[in-house]
Structure 1
Amino acid sequence: MITLHHVPQSRSMRVLWLLGELDLPFQVVSHGLDKGLRDPEYLTVSPAGRVPALEIDGERMFESLAIVQYLCERYAEAPLYQGPGDIDRMAWLVWVQFAETISQHTSSLAQQHIALREDHMRSPTVMRIEAKRIENCYAAIEARLSTPVENRDYLLTGGFSAADVCTGQAVYMARHFVSTDAFPEVSAWYERITERPAFQASLPQGEVMNVFERDFYPPWDS
């Protein structure tokens, strides 16, 4: 049995989505944003006290993109996974990893808007810079999706893949701070991929403590 340690609306969401796409049997252990992630027992699974962590065949993994690549190498077929020698291998690696570029800027905005609770702690300058960086990331996705090839509905020419899962989850998080409305191809792609049942199943379910209390956090000025 595969066990995923998960916090809703965190990077573990991309692994949860992928597991759904792979249609594998798995169980989820949900954690809150509290001291539970620092429990000695959990630190044996994830030494830094972070999610996701994966338990599989008696082994333990952490780091979301490493988990994504491992699961794809072991269980996925094209186009979900593009292995060495496959025509879309280079693009698969780029767009899977690009998710972390977006996530870093989103994490900075989440810290400014959510974690720093006192106004005097926040920096409008940091917020503007990070929001612009996310817009630049959207522009990169827009350029990719605008490439004049047949059936460019997804990031890879061959179709929906783990690259869409990882980058799409990162955009889901980023959209809490920066709208995609100025990027029509990104908006259309995002709508396509988030209609998938596996994405819907990865959203917070029931009464859970979410990272985001709002759907959108508007720009903040001191």
Structure 2
Amino acid sequence: MITLYHVPQSRSMRVLWLLNELEVEHRLVEMPFDGSLKTEEFFTRSPAGRVPALEIEGERMFESGAMVEYLCERFPERGMGRPPGAMDRMAWLVWVHFAETVSQHVAALTLQHIVLGDEASDAVCRFERARLRECYDAIEARLSTPVENRDYLLTGGYSAADICVGQAVYMARHFVRTDDCPELSAWFERITERQSYLDALPGPEASRMFQQDFYG
């Protein structure tokens, strides 16, 4: 049995989205966005008190990028990964981990707007929004590459790379619109039509970090 400890609207969403896409049985433990992550019990699952935390056959993982790589290797039949020697292997690794580049700027803006609130720094917010726009530009450039079937980040089609970057963009859109990036916007619409994504969204009773958007 796979157990995922999850907070809606956090990096754990990318692992939940992937589990849904892999169609593997799993148990979801939804954690509130509060001090329950900083308990001694949860530290045994994630030593930094962060989500996601993943339990699988008695072993525990606490880094989302590692979970994505491991799950794709563990369940290769769905084609979400790219094994060593595959045509798209290098690009798959780059884009899976590029999601963290996007997410670090999202995290900085979340700190400013959600945690600091009235004490937020306008200068920091402007800087982090500018960096997010640069990330959007990188994705737009990739999707604009004139190759056949460039509907997804990889030439070989939909993969966990789209899930990871898609989840990061899902979060980033709370702060920076994607209107000026037509290829990114079309790609995001394509991947978020999938049932695996819809099933990873917060339910009506879920605790949420974001109740509104914070456009600058």
Same fold by TM-score greater than 0.5: yes
Matched-pair contact (CA < 8 Å) for 1:105–1:131: yes
Partner of 1:37: 37
Aligned letter for 1:81? G
Once the two structures are superposed, residues 117-175 of structure 1 have per-residue CA deviations (whole angstroms, 9 ceiling, x without a partner) of 3x2x2111111110010000000000000000001000000100000000000000000
Partner of 1:218: 215
Partner of 2:147: 149
Partner of 2:22: 22
| Of 121, 124, 130, the match for 1:123 | 121
Identical-pair percentage? 62
Distance (Å, rounded) in 2 between the aligned partners of 1:79 and 1:205: 28
Matched-pair contact (CA < 8 Å) for 1:79–1:159: no
Aligned letter for 2:169? V
Partner of 2:171: 173
Aligned pair count reads 216
| 1:163 and 2:161 aligned | yes
Aligned letter for 2:111? Q
Q: Secondary structure at the match of 2:199?
A: helix
What is the aligned-residue RMSD (CA, Å)?
0.9
Partner of 1:194: 192
Unaligned runs of 5+ in 2: none
Kindly state the Cα deviation for residue 78 of structure 1 after the two structures are TM-superposed. 6.7
Aligned letter for 2:206? V
Question: TM-score scaled by structure 2?
Answer: 0.98
Aligned letter for 1:217? F
Distance (Å, rounded) in 1 between the aligned partners of 2:99 and 2:167: 8
Q: Secondary structure at the match of 1:60?
A: strand
Partner of 2:111: 111
Partner of 2:59: 59
Aligned letter for 2:3? T
Aligned letter for 1:162? A
Q: Secondary structure at the match of 2:27?
A: strand
Matched-pair contact (CA < 8 Å) for 2:22–2:78: no
Aligned letter for 1:6? H
Unaligned runs of 5+ in 1: none
Question: TM-score scaled by structure 1?
Answer: 0.95
> Which aligned runs of 4 or more in structure 1 are off by greater than 4 angstroms?
none
Aligned letter for 1:206? P
